[in-house]
Chains A and B, each alone.
Chain A
């Protein structure tokens, strides 16, 4: 939560070109997994710089202790919260995710600091999220994630899967 000095960094997210190939790189090199892959997802009720937008993507999630690794393959070339920083073909670190119980309140707190929202919407479980433009300050964005029941349920599932992982199986289904 922003505003009480106790922000919890929960997620590290990278933009990648090919989700399957990237998963195999992360599993092999860093040795973390297993990943859950969310294919062809669209952000519900998506806004980009104040205007309604659409954007499709593949996402993959895995737990590394209390950090969640997210790999995102945008399936679009048009300007978006992903493509603004990594044009088609480029890969790199994109955002840290922060859990909050109130996205709107934290968005307002960031706005007062001069950091506006680039994009907002709902993930496939309709968890409310917003990307705040902190790029100049930290070379990455901050994603505010509403820590609702469905999101935390998926988080626990990933953490359980990581604890009992065989070290080989790269992807599992939800």
Chain B
């Protein structure tokens, strides 16, 4: 039997001060790679706690087995799910990510329990794929990210996964990509 997709943690994410410096650190201690850097990721319809907001971020992802590690640097000063948990100038573990089979139903489940969406938005280059961060810190000491991609993280990230599987452990360990 396959585990229900809503129950599978696909990602561990940290908020960092300086993305490239953090990549070096995480490469060293985790010995994983390559890291794929997505500078200034294009986002649409960003909201912070229900109100329109600016969000200027760069992210980097790498695989550590089945789980993806993500590092996030926020460039602007506005409020966000990242700043709520990790104030400017600090670093810390931030969220786990799920790709539920029914995004709206899963979001409604969290809302019914009283958990608020801190930041939501759409990834411009991915057909405005919706994502949100639910502020579950009171219960879980981290936030929960939901991504509206019922096909699952394995499909969404397949190309990078294949590049990772082919990696020789040395060459081109940090790669800038667009998304």
Contacts and interface: CB of A to CB of B under 8 A. Distances in A.
A and B are interacting partners: yes
Interface of A: 2-10, 12, 14, 25-26, 28-32, 63-67, 69, 91-93, 96, 110, 113, 115, 134, 137-140, 142, 159, 162-165
21 contacts: A5-B169, A8-B65, A9-B30, A10-B65, A14-B141, A29-B139, A30-B136, A31-B6, A65-B3, A65-B8, A65-B10, A66-B65, A66-B66, A67-B66, A91-B141, A93-B93, A137-B28, A138-B30, A159-B3, A163-B2, A163-B3
Interface string B22-42: 000110111111000000000
B14 A7 contact: no
Interface of B: 1-3, 6-10, 12, 14, 25-26, 28-33, 64-67, 69, 91-93, 96, 109-110, 113, 115, 136, 139-142, 144, 167, 169-170
B52 to A, nearest CB: 28
A1 to B, nearest CB: 9
A139 B93 CA distance: 7
A159 B26 CA distance: 28
Given A96-B12, A137-B29, A29 B140 contact: yes
A3 B31 contact: yes
A102 B8 CA distance: 28
A30 B141 CA distance: 12
A133 B33 CA distance: 21
Contacts of A9: 12, 30, 64-65, 67, 69
A20 to B, nearest CB: 14
Contacts of A67: 8-9, 66-67
Contacts of B7: 31-32, 64-65, 162, 165
A137 B169 contact: no
Contact of B14 (A25, A110, A138, A142): A138
